[in-house]
């Protein structure tokens, strides 16, 4: 429920915050740190949301185990229900190659981590410039096909991690259900310490920079592999690792004036960019000439004096796509003499397919044999066990507890093999979860 309230003496009682997650499963979000708030309330699957009084539900949720606390609510803005689904479309592209799925139509994850809209925007960005290139005439078929190769693994990893983040919340609910976290005695103190420890040990939900900025298009057939071999550099969940390994988003670095980002030098719109750090600009003229011949929009950026940027960027020359991802970099040895420039550019615009596969120890996120992916309906408050085509990874007991749609009321469904329609804590208590990540205020 989204609502307006200026009852700050209660809502800001614990100081400034963005999210507060309650040990019973509810959550409070400060939308503007002033007067606009969202509350998520866990509800049983079979509850008809229209029977709930929104104000009462807010007071009950924020009061926690000690009973409702009165909050002065000026206006209820929106109430709605949502289900934490996870699903991934088997294919992002129609058989005829004319329809492309993006956003929630292609994948859905649990909101923990905030990956849904971010993944959706990334999808749309990826497909948009590729369609523009094909419509303009220089982009080839492989460019469109690469959309799925590039974006589906990103969604798979994001879905996987959203589940890991969710499981930390679940663990906290489970711990809370096993004792009284409010108790002013040694047992209460010990429980609070365990909850704190759980949260701090798995604190990735808002800190996983590797997820947010470190995704790499390692499977793409329009990314030229390193001629020396394609082993992916280390990928870390918490840290963004700057690299120009083909497929990564180019790393930001300030130029030596201390204020110009190298991104500010890139071409605009549909333009690719060749960044040439070599002293004699040996790559620039050849790439410029071949790109013109292929009618490929290319901006040349010569940075022979930028030693620091050159060091971070690892190579003498790097080719950047319109979406700022690297699609080629010069070999470590041999310079331009070892480069088939026409092939590099033909691959980059999808008129030819890249040779060889990058080796990615970090790439595939979802478990199983690759056939676990499925697609489920998310509209309405239906029992998850009745949704057709449930993927095997959705049938895991803990993930089957996910069941909602759109923002607001939180409903939880239990696989029939356990108990139908029990509440979150009841379910969590029985769940043998090993958890890996975290919630954060």
Q: Which residues bind ligand FAD (CB under 6 A)?
A: 82, 103-105, 111, 114-118, 120, 406-407
Taking the complex as a whole, the smallest distance from the CB of residue 112 to ligand FAD amounts, in Å, to 9
Decide the pairing of beta strands 272-276 and 317-320: antiparallel
Nearer to ligand FAD, 84 or 230 (CB): 84
Taking the complex as a whole, the smallest distance from the CB of residue 115 to ligand FAD amounts, in Å, to 6
Nearer to ligand FAD, 212 or 342 (CB): 212
Shortest-Cβ-distance residue relative to ligand FAD: 103
Contact 354, 221 (CB under 8 A): yes
Decide the pairing of beta strands 87-88 and 36-44: unpaired
State how far the Cα of 332 lies from the Cα of 354, in Å rounded to an integer: 19
Taking the complex as a whole, the smallest distance from the CB of residue 211 to ligand FAD amounts, in Å, to 12
Nearer to ligand FAD, 124 or 395 (CB): 124
Nearer to ligand FAD, 118 or 343 (CB): 118
State how far the Cα of 327 lies from the Cα of 325, in Å rounded to an integer: 6
Task: Of 432, 336, 391, 317, give the one whose Cα is nearest residue 90.
Answer: 391
DSSP secondary structure string, 302-343?
E-TT-HHHHHHH-SSEEEE-TTSBEEEE--SSSGGGG--HHH
Task: Of 218, 272, 270, give the one whose Cα is nearest residue 246.
Answer: 218
Outline where DSSP puts E strands in 331-418: 409-412
Contact 419, 428 (CB under 8 A): no
How far, rounded to the nearest angstrom, does the alpha carbon of residue 166 sit from its chain's CA centroid? 14
Taking the complex as a whole, the smallest distance from the CB of residue 344 to ligand FAD amounts, in Å, to 34
Taking the complex as a whole, the smallest distance from the CB of residue 33 to ligand FAD amounts, in Å, to 16
Decide the pairing of beta strands 317-320 and 326-329: antiparallel
Taking the complex as a whole, the smallest distance from the CB of residue 124 to ligand FAD amounts, in Å, to 8
Taking the complex as a whole, the smallest distance from the CB of residue 117 to ligand FAD amounts, in Å, to 3
Taking the complex as a whole, the smallest distance from the CB of residue 440 to ligand FAD amounts, in Å, to 13
Nearer to ligand FAD, 89 or 241 (CB): 89
Nearer to ligand FAD, 41 or 326 (CB): 41
CA 380, 124, 271 angle in degrees (round to 5)?
175
Nearer to ligand FAD, 109 or 221 (CB): 109
Angle 186-201/141-177 helices, nearest 10 degrees?
Answer: 170
State how far the Cα of 32 lies from the Cα of 250, in Å rounded to an integer: 33
Taking the complex as a whole, the smallest distance from the CB of residue 302 to ligand FAD amounts, in Å, to 38
Nearer to ligand FAD, 155 or 195 (CB): 155
State how far the Cα of 91 lies from the Cα of 42, in Å rounded to an integer: 33
How many Cα neighbours within 13 Å face the side chain of 304?
Answer: 7
| φ, ψ for residue 429, nearest 5 deg | -60, -30
Nearer to ligand FAD, 212 or 314 (CB): 212
Taking the complex as a whole, the smallest distance from the CB of residue 174 to ligand FAD amounts, in Å, to 22
Give the SS3 label for residue 130. Answer: helix
User: Exposed, middle or buried by CB within 10 Å (0-12, 13-18, 19+), for 380?
Assistant: exposed
305: DSSP letter: T
Nearer to ligand FAD, 105 or 292 (CB): 105
Contact 392, 372 (CB under 8 A): yes
């Amino acid at each position: 429920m989204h609502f307006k309230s200026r009852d700050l003496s209660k809502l800001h009682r614990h100081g400034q915050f963005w999210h507060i997650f309650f040990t019973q499963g509810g959550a409070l979000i400060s939308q503007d740190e002033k007067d606009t708030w969202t509350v998520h309330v866990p509800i049983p699957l079979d509850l008809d949301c229209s029977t709930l009084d929104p104000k009462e539900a807010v007071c009950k949720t924020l009061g926690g185990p000690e009973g409702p606390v009165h909050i002065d609510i000026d206006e209820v803005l929106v109430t709605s229900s949502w289900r934490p689904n996870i699903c991934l479309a088997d294919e992002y592209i129609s058989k005829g190659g004319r329809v492309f799925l993006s956003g929630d139509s292609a994948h859905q994850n649990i909101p923990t981590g905030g990956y849904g809209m971010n993944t959706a925007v990334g999808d749309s960005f990826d497909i948009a410039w590729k369609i523009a290139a094909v419509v303009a005439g220089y982009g080839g078929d492989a460019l469109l096909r690469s959309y799925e190769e590039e974006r589906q693994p990103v969604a798979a990893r994001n879905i996987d991690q959203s589940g890991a983040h969710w499981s930390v919340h679940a663990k906290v609910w489970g711990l809370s259900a096993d004792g009284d976290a409010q108790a002013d005695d040694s047992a209460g103190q010990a429980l609070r310490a365990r909850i704190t420890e759980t949260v701090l040990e798995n604190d990735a939900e808002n800190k996983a920079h590797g997820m947010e900025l470190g995704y790499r298009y390692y499977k793409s057939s329009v990314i030229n592999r390193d001629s020396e071999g394609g082993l992916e550099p280390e990928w870390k969940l918490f840290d963004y690792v700057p690299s120009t390994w083909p497929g990564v988003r180019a790393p930001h670095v300030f130029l030596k004036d201390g204020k110009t980002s190298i991104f500010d030098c890139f071409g605009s719109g549909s333009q690719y960019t060749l960044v040439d750090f070599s002293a004699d600009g040996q790559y620039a003229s050849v790439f410029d000439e071949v790109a013109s011949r292929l009618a490929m929009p290319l901006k040349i950026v010569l940075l022979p004096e930028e030693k620091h940027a050159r060091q971070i960027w690892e190579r003498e020359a790097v080719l950047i796509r319109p979406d700022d991802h690297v699609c080629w970099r010069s070999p470590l040895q041999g310079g331009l003499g070892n480069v088939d420039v026409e092939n590099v550019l033909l691959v980059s615009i999808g008129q030819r397919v890249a040779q060889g596969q990058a080796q990615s120890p970090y790439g595939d996120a979802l478990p199983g044999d690759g056939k676990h992916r499925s697609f489920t309906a998310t509209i309405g408050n239906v029992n998850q066990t009745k949704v057709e085509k449930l993927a095997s990874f959705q049938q895991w007991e803990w993930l089957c507890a996910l069941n909602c749609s759109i923002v607001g009321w939180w409903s939880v469904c239990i696989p029939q093999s356990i108990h139908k329609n029990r509440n979150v804590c009841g379910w969590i208590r029985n769940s043998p979860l090993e958890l890996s990540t975290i919630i954060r205020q």
